Chain A
Amino acid sequence: MNKKLGVYICHCGGNISDYIDVEKVKAAVAGEDGVYLAKTTMFACSDATQKEMVEDIRSNNLDGIVVASCSPKLHLLTFRAVSERALLNKYNYVHANIREQGSWAHSDDKAGATEKAVSLVKAAIAKVRLARSLDPIIIPSKKAVAIIGAGVAGMRAAIELADMGCPVTLVEREYFVGGRVAQWDVMFTTNQTGKELVTRLYNEVIARDNITLLTGAEVVANSGSIGDFTLKIKVTPRYMKEKCDQNNLLKAIEACPVVVPDDFNFNITSRKAIYHNFPGEFPQYPVIDIKNCTRCGECEKICSSVDFSQQEQTVEVHVGSVVMATGFDPYTPAEGEFGYKLSDFVVTLPQFKRLTDINKDNLVYNGREIRNIAYIYCVGSRQSEGDNKYCSRYCCTSAIHASLEARNKFRNVNNFHFTRGIRTYGKQELLYAESLRKGDVYLQAYEENPPLVEVKDGQITVTINDIMTGGREISVIPDLLVLVTGMVPRADNSIASKFKLPKGRDSFFNEIHMKLRPVETVIDGVTISGACQGPKNITESVNSALSAAAKSYSFVNKGELALEPIIAGIDKDLCTWCGECEKACPFDAIKKEKQGEKEIAVINNSVCKGCGMCLPVCPVNAINLIAFSDREIESMIDALVSV
């Protein structure tokens, strides 16, 4: 049966019709097979035109429509809604982009642009002729969300979701919450300490009955898909009872013979196998680092809270959506990179920040009082030849803030900044101005001529050809050299493979669209927040956490979900099961199934993402993607060459 079709060609004010003869396009397509009406319209997206379309569809019983206007990225949903209001299945509407890929791209060739518009509209007509009415795939959705990572982003997202009435499982791999922020002292712009911020969030988290916080917990397996994820979480015990006598605990820590580098202080100090991070840590009871513990029993003799009988547990949770908030690692320079590891007095910015926090009256490191401090910026960032091509953006501000803190907290500190240009955007510029006002020295070089670090007889010399003084060679002999390092993805990012999360060129988790869908991933139901997505400061992390919380909530709040039905389909007659499609599918959406005597491939509709990777690998062409079938694509090709 031939479909009755309506075609609407938009002027877009003059954006289209100034370059494309829309009347000519209308005339060229009006006679196409199935076209019942063809109209031009000043603004297809206007309320008046939308109402006219609804009326046309209803009164003429149209079976499909084509809208030729701007990019579908702007108005696909608008015209799908028009179709639905007219009781026309929304998949019977096809869009032709004659503005971005028509009038604007070819504003230098009006005749050519018009001819192309005719072809594009004809191709859309060819596609809509074959379009099928489709129903969204409706699946139940569990009203619960798991958040991976209890740093600032994770805790903020948890609080927001809990307040919307959604149960949350907050999973933290470490034994203490707060992530990186717990490691920072006073922060710009609020002058709050990281510990204060973490305390505030932690108190909010534990005040909510619908948040379950698991520390020392790691997702070891994930199955299912949007609406129904099943996470297996391994919870490692602290080997300590909750109620702990502080006096005995301190004695037990003292008695512990095991000494290991302290991660919390970025290894500039050491700790025992029984430890806590700092007095205000959360949860406020210590841990036995069982990987390093020798089980000598010394602590057990002193402290009755030590409990080696605690067992590892595996918890299974069922949630409708997952928020990733796994954070970042600071970049670790290679040995020799700007003198790193060649001297005991070369540290990274995070190490320096811990150093200024733990020193009280004098800034002393490795027995040396520190007065002259040199900072080399962009270490491991903005590398045209290296892995990290991006700018981490927070490090200029963080380094200047840390240097001001050092200057304010300790006496006679002089700061020398070796930069590639300062990027203290927005309000952070105030810090830079303050630093200049207080007499910090700023020197600058281009990437191709970076500062040179020499370590000789325990003395560090940093030399630069300073472009601010016409390339003059300037050397500084600092007591301490701070390498201003940026953010890199977590070294252990195994969580990504468990959720099959794609990563971007920078190896951070990748969103679908950085502007239009900034917290969604291609894995339906999994959102990303905070610095696991890319370098962010705390404000930006919290913004993205709130956005991710709202998006995840939208997946679970109704108890059911409507999924886009653009998925692969198997021709059971043609399929002879060779396994190639299963191998090609990155989402494990294809499985072998016995049907009668025959083994064939079957698609899991709620897992298939509609990428089409299985299509070209099928040796018998038994797979087609809905809306992108051979007939649809080839008929579009035919139409494009028909003009």
Chain B
Amino acid sequence: MEKKSARILVFSTEKISDPAIDMAGLLKLHYPPTVYTIAVPCSSGIKPRWIMHAYDKGFDGVFIAADGSDCTYGETCTEKTGHIVGITHQMMKEKNIDPARLRMAAICSVCSESFVKQIKSFNQYLLQSTKS
């Protein structure tokens, strides 16, 4: 049976992007129910092995809802999170996993609409890439 929605793991951040994801719910901005969130303190603390583990276990995509320039831990967060994505992309290529199955976007604490838009677009991509 054709999948209606892709299984997406979101790494959110406790102080910045997770409140935005909460607010998306509050505003009843719907997105696929197969999107699951694990909140961590800061997006620059996500280990590539966690992301790879998610693919191993059957997630179609991983989305990093990064702190961006709002990070309360410092200005280097964006650069460091980008570096994590870069390393993980390399690991994905080595395992023949499409790097586009990992996405990152800065989601501020009130960026609910942006989050939902990003997730819907990612879901579409993942469904199409699974078909092909």
Contact = CB atoms under 8 A, between A and B. Distances in A.
Interface of A: 71, 73, 97, 99-109, 112-113, 115-116, 119-120, 123, 500, 502-505, 510, 512-514, 521-522, 566, 584, 586, 609-616, 621, 625, 628, 630, 633-634, 636-638, 640-641
Nearest to B33: A112
A221 B27 CA distance: 46
14 contacts: A105-B21, A105-B31, A106-B33, A504-B70, A609-B73, A611-B45, A616-B44, A616-B48, A621-B49, A630-B49, A630-B50, A633-B40, A636-B38, A640-B36
Contacts of B47: 615-616, 621, 630, 633
Contacts of A640: 9, 36
Given A73-B18, A521-B72, 7 more contacts: A109-B33, A115-B33, A119-B36, A513-B15, A613-B73, A628-B41, A637-B9
A584 B22 contact: no
Nearest to B43: A612
A97 B22 contact: yes
Nearest to B31: A105
Contacts of A625: 41, 45
B61 to A, nearest CB: 13
Of listed A105, A504, A628, residue having the most chain B CB within 10 A: A105
B25 A105 contact: yes
Contacts of B24: 100, 105
Contact of B75 (A100, A503, A514): A503
B53 A634 contact: yes
B119 to A, nearest CB: 10
Contacts of A522: 72-73
B57 A638 contact: yes
B99 interface: no
Given A107-B28, A625-B41, A641-B57, A611 B73 contact: yes
What's the interface size class on B, roughly? 35 or more
Interface in B53-72: 53-54, 57-59, 69-72
B73 A633 contact: no
Contacts of B109: 513-514
B17 to A, nearest CB: 12
Interface of B: 5, 7, 9, 15, 18-19, 21-26, 28-34, 36-38, 40-42, 44-50, 53-54, 57-59, 69-77, 80, 84, 87, 109
B34 to A, nearest CB: 7
B25 to A, nearest CB: 4
Nearest to B68: A505
A596 B69 CA distance: 41
A513 B70 CA distance: 10
A534 to B, nearest CB: 13
Contacts of B19: 73, 513
Of listed A107, A116, A616, A638, residue having the most chain B CB within 10 A: A616
A54 B54 CA distance: 36
A442 to B, nearest CB: 32
A633 B73 CA distance: 21
Nearest to B29: A105
B73 A116 contact: no
Contacts of A641: 7, 57-59
A103 B34 CA distance: 13
A633 B7 contact: no
Contact of B73 (A119, A120, A586): A586
Nearest to A632: B38
A104 B28 contact: yes
A99 B41 contact: no
Contacts of A102: 25
Given A101-B25, A115-B33, A512 B15 contact: yes
Given A640-B9, A641-B57, A101 B21 contact: yes
Contacts of B30: 105-109
A12 to B, nearest CB: 12
Contacts of A615: 45-47
Contacts of A614: 45
